[in-house]
Structure 1
Amino acid sequence: MKIAVVILNWNGKALLEKFLPSVVAYSKEATVYVADNASTDDSITFVTAAFPSVNIIKNKSNGGYAKGYNDALKGIDADVFCLLNSDIEVTKNWLTPVVETFKKEPNTAIIQPKILDYHNKTHFEYAGAAGGYLDKYAYPFCRGRIFDTIEKDKGQYNKNSQIFWASGACFFIRKQVFERLNGFDASFFAHMEEIDLCWRAFNFGYTSKYVGESKVYHVGGATLNASNPRKTYLNFRNSLFTLTKNAGGNTLFLIVIRLVLDGLAAFKFLLALKPAHSLAVLKAHFNFYFNLPRVLKQRKLMPRKGHYFRTKSIVWSYFISKKKTFKRL
């Protein structure tokens, strides 16, 4: 089985200097690529000189995570793609259990490893933790991380299990499935595109899996951190895109509920003296309305099925019922 580990880079020389050594050292059974999104620093000069075994792909523009990977993966010969953030430290034998799972389970199309916090290695990391799910209103959450509550890794999620979505921080997918789904939705630019892809895979009958025997450490927020209103905008807008495209059942009702809840979130940002984030939610809604005809056309082209949610409302469970960990849901 041919594995391609593909690291998307944009002006990330410092991250490549720090984290590429572990990828090269512990990925002997894979071919490693750095896909550059038209960087203006000397990232590629550095990689070429320091790691001659690493293949370089030069994208013509910075299309973000979604278009960047769509462009880069077109020319790669592999059975499985591993899309790896440039701020991840991998561990010895991290690829072995993933490859074994793909070999044993032909319907498993997408895999995520255990993602721990690089700066606090006893705890899960925010972006993905031990695999993702959606609630009834399509709000994402993870095993090991619900909202801002991040669990300590005590081995409670060591067992391999089916999940609904895998983190884009370290995202394995079979090439044939990626191509069948036409890759990521490039209009997302960044954030939520992996959830959209996993939801489409689910609607086509594929399985996403968490493999706890594989472990990586993620810095997180290296491109856009949580304090950046641009991240708020992309998350709220792309979440609405994802829901509209993929949900089965009474989608209109779900969208109305989400718009109301988003409005409450915007008000909460205002009370917290974060007007830029409140404005970002408003801009996300206006962009969603503008793009709604296009998104509805995408919806018509894809199958849909229900029963995607793990719990009725993660907001209610967390804030009202005070269920702070996945096992209490």
Structure 2
Amino acid sequence: MVDRRRLGRTRLRSPHLRLGHRVPASPPEERKGHAVRLHLPVRGPGGRGADHAETRDDPGHAPRSAPSRPEAAAHDAPADRDEPAGGARPRDVRPVRRRVADRAVEGQAVVRLPVRLPDIRAHPGVRPRGEPGRGPGAGVDRGGAHHRRHPGRVANADRLTGTGAVAGAAAERAELADLAVVVVNYNAGDDLAGCLRSAWEAAGEPRLEVVVVDNASRDGSADRAVAANPGTTLIRNASNRGFGAAANQGILGTTAPFVLLLNPDAEILAGTLGGFVKVARDRPRAGAIGAMVRDPDGTIYPSARRVPGLVESLMHAFLSPFRIDNRWSRAYTMSDWDRHSERQVEWVSGSCVLLRREALDQVGMFDEGYYMYVEDVDLCTRLREAGWEVRFSPELEVTHVGGTATVGRKEMTLEHSRSIYRYFAKHRSNGWRVTLGPFVWTALRLRAAMVSWHRGER
């Protein structure tokens, strides 16, 4: 809060004006007029706090929408004022189209205040409301159209490489996005439309490119969801390539420095994508950041976990389907942690994870040998081995239904065991442990049979 009693004797370190300095009057014929007069103290919407954003901009930069020469207003300050600048009675802020003062204003103090785009709110009396989603005057509420959407596209790609059709098309985008949201879909029904809607509404400050990679769904969910969310790109696969391969397609089909993977049956509950990206920018060694995931009933799902050792893995695998609150499962899921604090972890769930493209360029994307499950554990392991951090942050919260297209299917339980064995063979079978391969595979097949029987899967 600015102390008005000290304004007359405080000097502002600014190239434009020092408070207390008299600006010499210019002859009437040389005067071009003056732009916005900023009154102090500055208050935000509703008069609460010094956070009124209509006349603020980033320090050291010209206003976002102002040209190099601001247009004059019709209200001139008296040339013969004999009081210090800033000592006069505050006047109303006067809009000059979308421009604000960027030089000394005769007889008034010009104060440059920092601004963050999420703080800006449209105000009909100060700045005209422009086209939806364009310019800093647009609303930035969760439901507003403030974010800039890339034009949607539909592409058919059974396989995508670095030189593939969709990857090449990404280079045609006129503007680079700040964040890419990639959703892999397979018969997700109406959940997919809700997922996309929540992503657009929770964008915050970043420019988004949203991509749906559809693995040959038969329920028409992809077409309905993309039609309901303009600006979303759809990549169609002629066959179900699995999660990891489809996620790689989406990553290759985008250009943003950060990629958010979001499951089609997940929706963003709290926080903004802009805030989540800021967490990543503030932690330059974070290669992957997981969000807080809640079940539909509101309970927190343990989406950030340890990578268990061999004994712990087997005990969890065999006991958790029947008694989840056993000591080995509790240690594996880090159940003593309330997940309301940020911390480094060993792996985070791919249901909602923010990935840094620079890290992916170094360690590679998802291993497409995992058709389903454990590909997120594998990627996080490779990131940590390369020196990148894997973190959990409650900055973003999502709700995740889980198992939309896989629940009750015996083959998917068996696929889970295959993926666990692949991880063991790839990361844990060095040295003498290679001899454990047949035992581990037999144990995993037995576990899959027990789980399918217990769940009544077909």
Paired residue for 2:294? Answer: 116
Which residues in structure 2 correspond to 1:103-142 (within 5 Å)? 103-118=281-296, 120-121=297-298, 123-125=299-301, 129-137=302-310, 139=313
The one-character-per-residue Cα deviations of 1:121-157 (angstroms, maximum 9, x if unpaired) are 1x123xxx24021221173999xxx763499x99822
Instruction: Determine whether 1:46 maps to 2:224.
Output: yes
CA distance in structure 1 between the aligned counterparts of 2:219 and 2:187, rounded to whole angstroms: 5
Q: 1:82 to 1:258 in 2, by over 3 A?
A: same
Aligned positions, number: 266
- Displacement of 1:48 after TM fit? 3.7
Q: Hey, what's the Cα distance between the residues in 1 that align with 2:413 and 2:184?
A: 22
Q: 2:352 aligns with which of 166, 170, 174?
A: 170
10, 25, 48: which one aligns with 2:201: 25
The one-character-per-residue Cα deviations of 1:213-262 (angstroms, maximum 9, x if unpaired) are 3211110111212x321122111111111121123665326646634643
Structure 1 segments of 4+ aligned residues over 6 angstroms from their partners:
273-277
- Greater relative contact order, per chain length (Cα 8 Å cut-off, separation 6+): 1
Preserved CA contact (<8 Å) 1:113 1:212:
yes
Post-superposition offset of 1:53: 2.1
Provide the residue aligned with 1:232 in structure 2. Answer: 413
Pair 1:87–1:263, CA change in 2 (3 A):
closer
Compared CA separation, residues 237 and 103, structure 1 to 2 (3 A): same
Distance, in Å, in 2 between the alignment partners of 1:189 and 1:244 is: 16
- Deviation larger for 232-241 or 4-13: 4-13
1:94 touches 1:216 (CA, 8 Å); kept in 2? no
2:368 matches 1:190: no
Query: Would the aligned equivalents of 1:97 and 1:211 in 2 still touch at CA under 8 Å?
Result: no
Aligned residue in 2 for 1:6: 182
Aligned twin of 1:314? none
1:58 Cα deviation after fit: 2.7
Specify the alignment match of 1:208 in structure 2: 390
Check 1:250–1:190 CA distance in 2 against 1; reply closer, same or farther (3 A cut): same
SS of equivalent residue, structure 1 residue 90: strand
The answer to whether residue 270 in structure 2 is matched with residue 100 in structure 1 is: no
- Which residue matches 1:283? none
Contact 1:133–1:140 (8 Å) recurs in 2: no
Tell me the TM-score normalised to structure 2 length: 0.52
The residue aligned with 2:235 is 57
CA separation of 1:260 and 1:54: change in aligned 2, threshold 3 A: closer
**Distance between the aligned counterparts of 1:256 and 1:60, measured in 2?**
35
The alignment partner of 1:135 has SS state of coil
Q: 1:263-302 maps to which residues of 2 (within 5 A)? A: 265=447, 268-269=450-451
- Does residue 1:72 correspond to 2:250, yes or no? yes
CA gap 1:200/1:27 in 2 versus in 1, 3 angstroms: same
Letter in 2 for 1:77: T
Higher helix share: 1
**Distance in 1 separating the partners of 2:201 and 2:304:** 26
1:199 corresponds to which of 381, 398, 401: 381
Contact 2:413 2:448 in 1 (8 A): no
Aligned to 1:85: 263
Residue number among 207, 217, 229 corresponding to 2:399 in the alignment:
217
**In structure 1, how many angstroms separate the alpha carbons of the residues matched to 2:438 and 2:223?**
49
Shift of 1:273: 6.3
Shift of 1:68: 0.8
User: Does the CA-based 8 Å contact 2:190-2:225 persist in structure 1?
Assistant: no
Please give the alpha-carbon distance, in whole angstroms, between the structure 1 residues aligned to 2:433 and 2:268.
39
Q: Report the Cα offset of residue 8 of structure 1.
A: 1.1
- 1:185-226 CA-to-partner distances (Å, cap 9, x unmatched) read 21211111111111111222211100023211110111212x
The alpha-carbon deviation at position 94 of structure 1 amounts to 3.5
Distance 2:181 2:314 in 1: 26
1:31 aligned partner, one-letter code: E
Residue of structure 1 in register with 2:343 after alignment:
161
CA distance in 2, matches of 1:253, 1:133: 24
Residues 262 and 97 of structure 1, relative CA distance in 2, 3 Å threshold = same
Q: Cα offset for 1:168?
A: 1.2
Instruction: State the alpha-carbon separation in 2 of the partners of residues 91 and 188 from structure 1.
Output: 29
Give the 3 Å change call, closer, same or farther, for CA 262–50 of structure 1 in structure 2: closer
Matched-pair contact (CA < 8 Å) for 2:414–2:448? no
TM-score (ref. length: structure 1): 0.71
Identity %: 24
Q: Structure 2: where are the runs of 5+ without partners?
A: 1-176
Shift of 1:98: 2.5
Give unmatched runs, 5+ long, in structure 1: 278-329
Whether the aligned pair in 1 keeps the contact of 2:303 and 2:349 (CA below 8 Å) is no
Q: What is aligned with 1:252? A: 434
State the distance in 2 between where 1:140 and 1:179 align: 33
